[in-house]
Structure 1
């Protein structure tokens, strides 16, 4: 497959050289929901998990595939993939890594109870797993599946010895936290910090940090203050308003790259009385207005994307009219950002039978995405101007995501990191019809559904030729955007604050990894 390359910036020292420290101190915005590597397909969870559990195939900072626990892979016929595994790899308890552990992981990952967002999306195409020998494994797929290497780069491999019979709670308390990764699990205090120790036997080479402490620090001001005071060495989600401040300080620097994360608005597509929509008198409407495509189009036209980029994001974003970032595999020039047109939005509302608009509450997180609450407030003002009187409710991410997954909201603002660097991830997760059995639409919290989009996603996943597959996914994207299956907003620019004297490799996937930080000399 053809993967778009997103340039990353490795920062070099501009000032005094840092001496190698025994402990790397990191502060990140988002807490994790579990240390179980298969519980929640969520970027903060996956970034933390990557320290302990290696995948078969790694992604570098530009999301190019590189060997991980697998050293090579090939399709031996139309429906069979063979992976040769790295020899000499041991688990953190010094037991050997084998193909049996991979077979166990493929069985476990899509079947974790109560998963808010399952990894089944990446595994459902596997019909049969065959352990050929200790370091060779084969997967028979349900059909032609060219993206197998990409999909198998999205989750970590766990030990059968420690994982069989283990629950998510066993990972959370550390009993099952035995991986092959560069760091060994130390402690986890939810909402506070996670600690880890260097794995001296790591197959990829010993890391420069003897230990790592990652603190979960929701407050942007607190993270910046911790960096400037020297309490931490690296922070993620640097507030856009603090870029200049961090760059001017002699002790700190900024690391940045374009993100794979699409920020979007979901509206309720269910045939019901939508829970947070009323008429002007506060009475429930007799139908869900968002079932009418004209209302969804009105919402999109009401959004001044350029204003959000310049005034709310301080330029650290790119407005978009589709799910893929500009220039990536599956992006198309046929879907530019919709022009801001409040008059056109009001006309569409009137045509749909809402000349006086209606009342609405939009829900968003206040501690997950860059400027998430501020963006929500701006959206509320923009919608109010076209006659949709909007109230904003911003919540902690853990509370927000739980309710969003139950379809408790009428409108929500969220984001999706494209961990496969191609369109099947957002199309299959956000816009495909929700199907718990197959994992399709696992994060489709609006319950948008179009059989033609589903058909094209399936066709693209079974198309060997890169260019033909790209065109199929573009067609699926065009249909979903015509339907306003979601309202695309912008792609973020990922920002980190880094202590001078350290070299940091900025990642398009937003992951904040100890492995991305080294002494600069």
Structure 2
């Protein structure tokens, strides 16, 4: 009745005002029920203790939590533990927040914490185990339901950063089940902001909000994590509104996204180092050949001069400008300058192809040789494109390089079996300091200490292990800093690995959504908020 009595002009004004109101509140109202996020790499397992792979961690963060965690700048902050105390040099006491419930309604206690510290060592078949972060704990003492003590074998200042990587699971829900069971929902009982609903391998994970969460309530009732490895497809999904946000904006689309008023872009230099790892340990290497493809009796990568020549042949600035569109920072370090253990004496190698040729000649390879470089093609920003560029640069010094790219799930399982001669990989310093890449990537195999878990081609210098061993047991920060810097210098100066750059991470979101970028590159649906 009211509308019919208005003039046509008044009707138009009323309708226009109503539409404007809906548009103004659309991000909060239209999307509060569901948030769809496009991720660039699918997880290989739902078990939060199975494989220390970044894509797995991204998903686990939504469902499970550690005792302590890291803020967007990689500073350690409380999570399930509200406080901690270093009782003496080898005893740490943690107090849990009271009243925290698992997703099944059961209460979190220190029995679940103790179980979560024991479980990673029992996992079978993992290409990258989490027990590297629990090996320092010699004894666990449950004081009461909310107080637990960890006693380390010797002074161990890295326990706090290590514990940021260990998710707390329900003992009742996970005891006696296999890692494969998690994909169907068994064991997917955490304490974090979202509850597990469904996993469709290589496609999506569906989640629903945990309304009983102990902390700040999540914005979205329902979250769908879509796995879209192809950059162009990921951008298309964002522009079409199929997802509200994505990670890892493809570099060819940067200018377009930056100029689009309907899209917001966010970026931050990360602690992820992109590097090459050469086979310096074997007399014969599977993908090193003569230039015409015949096997070589001797592996040239065993000669440090050859490894140095490879490093000198890489124009890191050109990769930054032409491949990465500015989204990288050339490096010769294991961590960026803002992280503990950075060694300022390790300068970025000068691009010097003529000097590289001389080194090859001195090593007896004046005519070069052939090699295949293996790389993931869906994990890091421009991973395969970077590798193709490096292959072209190697060809200029006489090394005939081919590139074989594959999805990260395939790449990592083959890498763990030592199937490569030269590969590209990335590593984020999860603990916030240089001890993380040192222990994982370049330390000699020492499973008892958690050393060498991702040292796929078995580079080994006993002096490095000795120096690193002292570092991880030194409480004094200045002494530990010097030891970490010395250990890094050994690996870098021997070209045990060949750093390329620190990666700059990007995110993009549709208008009305904002994100706080993170140094650790994690992409959390609960990190996006209506703007």
- Which band: TM-score by shorter chain? over 0.9
- The question of 1:428 aligning with 2:439 is answered yes
The reply on whether 1:93 has 2:131 as its aligned counterpart is: no
Deviation at 1:437, TM superposition (A): 4.3
Q: Contact 2:209/2:218 (CA < 8 Å) preserved in 1? A: yes
Aligned residue for 1:391, secondary structure, equals strand
- Is 1:346 the counterpart of 2:381? The answer is no
Q: In the TM superposition, what is the alpha-carbon distance from 1:328 to its structure 2 partner?
A: 2.1
**Contact (CA 8 Å) 2:113, 2:168: kept in 1 or not?**
yes
Structure 2 residue aligned with 1:213, among 211, 215, 224? 224
Aligned CA distance change for structure 1 residues 16 and 361 (closer, same or farther; 3 Å): farther
**Which residue number in structure 2 is paired with residue 137 of structure 1?**
148
Distance 1:130 1:97 in 2: 16
What's the Cα RMSD here?
Answer: 1.2
Partner of residue 10, structure 2: none
Alignment of 1:196 with 2:218, yes or no, is: no
Q: Which has the larger radius of gyration?
A: 2
Alignment of structure 1 residues 435-514 onto 2, 5 Å: 435-514=446-525
- Normalised to the residue count of structure 2, the TM-score between the two structures is 0.94
Where does residue 381 of structure 1 map in the other structure?
Answer: 392
Checking the alignment, whether the CA contact within 8 Å between 1:120 and 1:438 is kept in structure 2 is no
Work out whether residues 46 and 155 of structure 1, in 8 Å CA contact, stay in contact via their aligned partners in 2.
no
Aligned length: 506
What's the offset of the Cα at 1:100?
Answer: 0.4
Conserved? CA contact 2:341–2:435, under 8 Å: no
**Distance in 1 of aligned mates of 2:129 and 2:272:** 19
- Flag as ranges the 4+ runs of structure 1 deviating above 6 A: none
Structure 1 CA distance for aligned equivalents of residues 430 and 416 of structure 2: 20
Instruction: Label 1:500 to 1:273 Cα distance change in 2 as closer, same or farther (>3 A).
Output: same
Does the residue aligned with 1:140 lie in a helix, a strand or coil?
strand
Pairing of 1:178-197 with structure 2 (within 5 A): 178-197=189-208
SS in 2 for 1:392: strand
Kept after mapping to 1: 8 A contact 2:375/2:406: yes
Within the alignment, does 1:244 sit opposite 2:269 as a pair? no
Residues 322-350 of structure 1, C-alpha deviations (whole Å, 9 max, x = no match): 11112322112211110001111111111
Structure 2: runs of 5 or more not aligned:
1-22
Q: Counterpart of 2:48 in 1: which secondary structure? A: coil
| Distance apart, 1:241 and its partner CA | 2.1
Q: Distance in 1 between matches of 2:202 and 2:472?
A: 38
Listed as ranges, the gaps of 5+ residues in structure 1 are: 1-14
SS of structure 2 residue aligned to 1:19? helix
Post-superposition offset of 1:402: 1.1
Q: What's the counterpart of residue 317 of structure 1?
A: 328
Give the number of the structure with larger relative contact order, counting CA–CA contacts within 8 Å between residues 6 or more apart.
Answer: 1
Q: Which residue of 2 aligns with 1:52?
A: 63
1:113 to 104, 120, 124: 124
Deviations 1:362-409 (A, max 9, x none): 010111110011101101001111111011111111111111111101
Q: Which residue of structure 1 lines up, in the alignment, with residue 413 of structure 2?
A: 402
Distance in 2 between residues matched to 1:281 and 1:505, nearest whole Å: 51
For residues 86-126 of structure 1, the C-alpha deviation after alignment (integer angstroms, 9 at most, x for no partner) is 11001111111000001001100232111110111111111
What is the TM-score when the length of structure 1 is the normalising length? 0.95
Indicate if the aligned counterparts of 1:16 and 1:501 stay in contact, CA closer than 8 A: no
Aligned to 1:157: 168
Q: CA shift at 1:16, angstroms?
A: 5.7
Query: Which whole-Å deviations, capped at 9, do the CAs of 1:433-452 have from their partners, x for residues lacking one?
Result: 12344431101112110111
Which residue is 1:19 aligned to? 28
Q: Which has the higher helix share?
A: 2
- Contact in 1 for aligned 2:203/2:227 (Cα 8 Å): yes
